[in-house]
Amino acid sequence: MTTYLNFIDGQFVKGSAQPFANHFLTTGEVIGEVSAAGRAEVDAAVGAARAALKGPWGRMPVAERVALLRKLADGINARFDEFLAAEIRDTGKPRSIASHIDIPRGAANFNVFADQILTASTETFEMATQDGTGALNYALRSPRGVIGVVCPWNLPLLLMTWKVAPALACGNTVVVKPSEETPATATLLGEVMNAVGIPPGVYNVVHGLGPDAAGEFLTSHPGVDGITFTGETRTGEAIMRAAARGVRPVSLELGGKNAGIVFDDADLDAALEGIGRACFANTGQVCLGTERVYVQRGIFDRFAEGLAQKARGYRFGDPFDPATTMGTVISAEHRDKVLSYYAKAREAGATILAGGGVPDMQGYENGYWVEPTVWTGLPEDSAVVREEIFGPCTHLTPFDSEDEVTALANDTPYGLATSIWTTNLGRAHRTAKAVDVGISWINSWFLRDLRTAFGGSKASGIGREGGVHSLEFYTELRNVCVKL
């Protein structure tokens, strides 16, 4: 049994709130206990972060900070197997995913933002003055201060360091509230912080639930200068309300109901491979995933059969087994939510092309399994087609024209991502421009250059992170005007 402690001012400490159990999702058994932070620990963490800003961290030259960020990346990689095992135990995701995506990207984020801060520049403007001497304006970037970082469970280390790395690169200090479902890698990172010499108080972790618990205590704490959040849209709204007190800025990466678009001139095998991943990878628990696929009528039946075959081709099992290609979903509660949509689809008369239930898992009967599922035949206004399910499932709808498909894709409150498949160059660019999302992929999915802007429009978020765009949130830009 592992006990996950809070990490405050460089020390691992017990929380004063009610502890809760941590489960191995493949078997449902309790494998650990999370020591939850109460108001007192959140207060201590914010205080430690504030003190660290005023201490050596706040005075450290950029080059030294950058060297420490690179040591953090090396420190994660040096303990790769421990991070990997921790992430697999917490999420139930297959080793093949965690070893290729979660842990390497979790480490790489520190190098990406180390590079970014070294080359960051600001604007200057010369101006004329009436007396003819002129003036020079230049901008300075200062750290924003103490950043509250609230994270989801689907890519725990990767999405946390996506925020912590730029925050630290810019000279801020952080208090992280990991998801209650996935406390392990954020805690382990505390050990790496100490080992590489990050000063105490720069990185703090408080564990616990969201509402009326560590999450809310952190986001409503007046000592927090900015809040960065990834998670559900409804939680984002609550966090925005909390941030309104004191007019604190927020960066919100929220939910989606992303459309895949497959034209009849697409490379069918490539489209099936890409859309298949977009629907089912990480057991469908990817914010950028595709739960609605629009397929041009001429290839609809072939595509539908091909995608159903992909859905049937996954191998469930122990996530530590290299042969496993699909793990569980994150919790019993989330399994029940996903299965409630499977029931809604059946009740609404969907044609089920693959899956639709739970797999028969001998030896792992208590794990949180759901089958990859493909439906067709539902109207666009059904709950299954409109609401984010966050499971390994998708609905296929045929379309005829470009205009029709962009209207269908845009008929949603969300605006996170799309994946467009066509060999017609003009059509590809036109469609990418017409679909109102933050991220469009053409003939690909989840191909990420970390320097690019990442974020959603409409109810999928506020702000952009990634590359230089992260600097906008994690720094305060200040203009200095010098009369010459």
190-201: burial string, b at 16+ Cβ within 10 Å, e else: bebbbebebbbb
Query: Which amino acid is it at 45?
Result: A
Binding mask 166-195 for ligand NAD (x = CB under 6 A): -----------x-xx---------------
Binding window for ligand NAD (CB under 6 A); candidates: 80-88, 144-152, 185-193, 319-327: 144-152
Q: Least distance in Å: CB of 148 to ligand NAD?
A: 9
Say how many residues touch ligand NAD, by CB under 6 A: 32
Q: Which of 41, 180, 253, 291 is catalytic?
A: 253
- Torsion of the alpha carbons at 144, 145, 150 and 155, rounded to the nearest 10: 70
Range in contact with ligand NAD (rule: CB under 6 A) among 188-196, 204-212, 260-268, 371-379: 204-212
CB of 96 to ligand NAD, least distance (A): 20
Q: How far apart are CA 175 and CA 148, in angstroms?
A: 5
Look up 287 and say whether it is catalytic. Answer: yes
Q: Which of 31, 60, 78, 209 binds ligand NAD (CB under 6 A)?
A: 209
Q: Does position 232 bind ligand NAD by CB under 6 A?
A: yes
What minimum distance in Å lies between the beta carbon of 145 and ligand NAD?
A: 19
User: Nearest distance from residue 285's CB to ligand NAD, in Å?
Assistant: 7
DSSP string covering 67-90, please? HHHHHHHHHHHHTHHHHHHHHHHH
CB of 78 to ligand NAD, least distance (A): 27
Fill in the per-residue mask, 434 to 473: x = in contact with ligand NAD (CB under 6 A), - = not in contact.
Answer: ----------------------x---xx------------
Strand partners, 227: 148, 250
Region 238-297 residues binding ligand NAD, contact defined as CB under 6 A: 238-239, 253-256, 287
Would you count residue 154 as binding ligand NAD (CB under 6 A)?
A: yes
Buried b (16+ CB within 10 A) or exposed e, 84-100: bbbbbbbbbbbbebbbe
Structure tokens, 36:
């939850």
Tokens 């201590």, located at residue? 44
304 SS3 class = helix
- Known active-site residue 253: yes
DSSP code for 101 = I
Non-local CB neighbours of 315 within 8 Å, separated by 6+ positions = 323, 324, 325, 326
Rounded CA-CA distance 425/442 in Å is 10
Please choose, out of 73-81, 122-130, 224-232, 469-477, the segment that lies near ligand NAD by the rule CB under 6 A: 224-232
List 69, 416, 442, 462, residue binding ligand NAD (CB under 6 A): 416
Q: Does 17 bind ligand NAD (CB under 6 A)?
A: no
Nearer to ligand NAD, 318 or 388 (CB): 388
Indicate the residue whose CB is closest to ligand NAD. 210
| Cα separation, 289 vs 378, whole angstroms | 19
- d(CA 481, CA 484) in angstroms, rounded, equals 9
Q: Which of 75, 231, 276, 372 binds ligand NAD (CB under 6 A)?
A: 231
Beta bridge partners of 21: 33
Q: Which residues here bind ligand NAD, judged by CB under 6 A?
A: 150-154, 159, 177, 179-180, 209-211, 215-216, 219, 230-232, 235, 238-239, 253-256, 287, 388, 390, 416, 456, 460-461
